């Protein structure tokens, strides 16, 4: 299959549906490519449902080579860079990395914003206009006491004060489904519920949700969101997992690797989170893309959210009839 080097990157005008515009505004701007960059698995929290192993989480925080970062990101056309981890704020020179990237690109950052995270320098040095979203995971069950919770709330207030767009979310374990109103009342920001996908207390979710838990969870998601795309996605994931262990899109046209791509710590580029088809190395070769959407050849999808977004762009041109 042919690949397209970033030097010939073209603007993409596909028939974008709401399904790929999950967060409202322009987080998923159809004219820009989205690059999901997992820059380190090191993390200070120990959420039991985490995909990363304990060894990965306890790896020491790193310092990134700013010259390589500069060279690699400056040769890309303006893109949306989604920074994931681990906990990205633990990277020693994270603010400098963000300064370089935001000279040309827009950022979405996924963080736990815990007490080890100090966003002050970030707030003072980064232009909030270049941040599309700071996506904060609350992980309520894994916060250590009131001090930690106090620092977390303080950090959110800091982001608010400096006008950074943020979105607070909580992974919905069964006990959180029951206690959601109490948790919501304990914090001065709207909490967006997220379906649990992973192993928790020895069970595989979301398959392990009971029927009652599914109904209640969907009700909470509807009440909180009022945004059809989020409700639609949660419903698809809950329904998809109710009768089988994995969600598959085999044979469907998927835009991962074409306008939405994954880069991991060492710079290896993958079509998607299944990470079986390396497309090259970002730091050495620049960014390599498929020159058109490809059929999904995987037996299962490692990231159903990405799978639904990137396959349904092509299935649903008009989603007005989807309930």
Write out the residues near ligand SF4 by the rule CB under 6 A: 43, 45-47, 50, 52, 57, 85-87, 112, 137, 139, 249, 254, 256, 271-272, 274, 296, 298, 301, 303, 306-307, 310-311
CB of 142 to ligand SF4, least distance (A): 6
CB of 133 to ligand SF4, least distance (A): 16
CB of 86 to ligand SF4, least distance (A): 5
CB of 302 to ligand SF4, least distance (A): 6
For ligand SF4, the closer of residues 100 and 159 by Cβ is 159
CB 248 within 8 A of CB 301: yes
Give bridge partners of residue 136 from the DSSP assignment.
Answer: 111, 168
For ligand SF4, the closer of residues 217 and 296 by Cβ is 296
Distance set, CA 230 to CA 23, 193, 218, 226, 241 (Å): 8, 10, 10, 8, 17
User: Nearest to residue 95, comparing CAs of 123, 62, 76, 68?
Assistant: 123
For ligand SF4, the closer of residues 17 and 112 by Cβ is 112
CA distance 195 to 296: 24
CB 287 within 8 A of CB 269: yes
CB 110 within 8 A of CB 81: no
CB of 103 to ligand SF4, least distance (A): 27
CB of 158 to ligand SF4, least distance (A): 19
Contacts with 245 (C-beta within 8 Å, 6 or more apart), sequence order: 204, 207
CB of 131 to ligand SF4, least distance (A): 19
Q: What is the widest separation between alpha-carbon atoms in the chain?
A: 54
HSE value, Cβ hemisphere, 13 Å, CA-based, for 57: 12
For ligand SF4, the closer of residues 85 and 240 by Cβ is 85
> For the chain, what is the total number of helices (H) and then of strands (E)?
10, 15
For ligand SF4, the closer of residues 102 and 137 by Cβ is 137
For ligand SF4, the closer of residues 70 and 167 by Cβ is 167
CB 89 within 8 A of CB 62: no
- Structure tokens given for 323: 């309930």
For ligand SF4, the closer of residues 100 and 108 by Cβ is 108
């Amino acid at each position: 299959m042919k690949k397209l080097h970033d030097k010939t990157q073209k603007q993409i005008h596909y028939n974008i549906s709401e399904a790929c515009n999950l967060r409202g505004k322009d987080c998923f701007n159809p004219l820009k490519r989205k690059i999901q960059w997992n820059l380190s698995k090191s993390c200070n929290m120990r959420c039991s449902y985490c995909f990363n192993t304990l060894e990965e989480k306890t790896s020491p925080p790193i310092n990134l080579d700013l010259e390589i970062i500069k060279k690699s990101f400056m040769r890309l056309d303006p893109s949306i860079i989604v920074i994931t981890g681990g906990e990205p704020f633990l990277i020693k020179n994270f603010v400098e990395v963000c300064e370089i990237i935001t000279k040309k690109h827009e950022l979405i950052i996924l963080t736990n914003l815990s007490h080890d995270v100090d966003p002050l320098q970030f707030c003072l040095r980064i232009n909030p206009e270049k941040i599309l979203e700071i996506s904060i995971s609350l992980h309520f069950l894994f916060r250590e006491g009131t001090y930690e919770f106090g620092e977390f709330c303080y950090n959110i207030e800091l982001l608010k004060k400096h006008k950074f767009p943020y979105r607070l979310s909580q992974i919905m374990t069964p006990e959180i489904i029951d206690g959601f109103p109490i948790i919501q009342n304990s914090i001065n920001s709207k909490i967006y519920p997220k379906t649990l996908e992973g192993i928790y207390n020895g069970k595989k979710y979301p398959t392990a949700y009971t029927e009652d838990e599914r109904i209640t969870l969907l009700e909470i998601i509807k009440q909180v969101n009022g945004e059809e795309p989020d409700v639609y996605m949660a419903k698809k994931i809950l329904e998809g997992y109710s009768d089988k262990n994995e969600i598959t899109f085999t044979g469907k046209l998927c835009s991962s690797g074409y306008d939405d791509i994954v880069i991991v710590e060492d710079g290896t580029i993958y079509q998607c989170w299944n990470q079986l088809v390396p497309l090259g190395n970002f730091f050495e070769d620049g960014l390599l893309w498929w020159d058109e959407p490809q059929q999904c050849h995987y037996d299962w999808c490692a990231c159903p959210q990405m799978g639904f977004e990137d396959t349904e762009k092509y299935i649903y041109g008009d989603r007005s009839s989807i309930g």
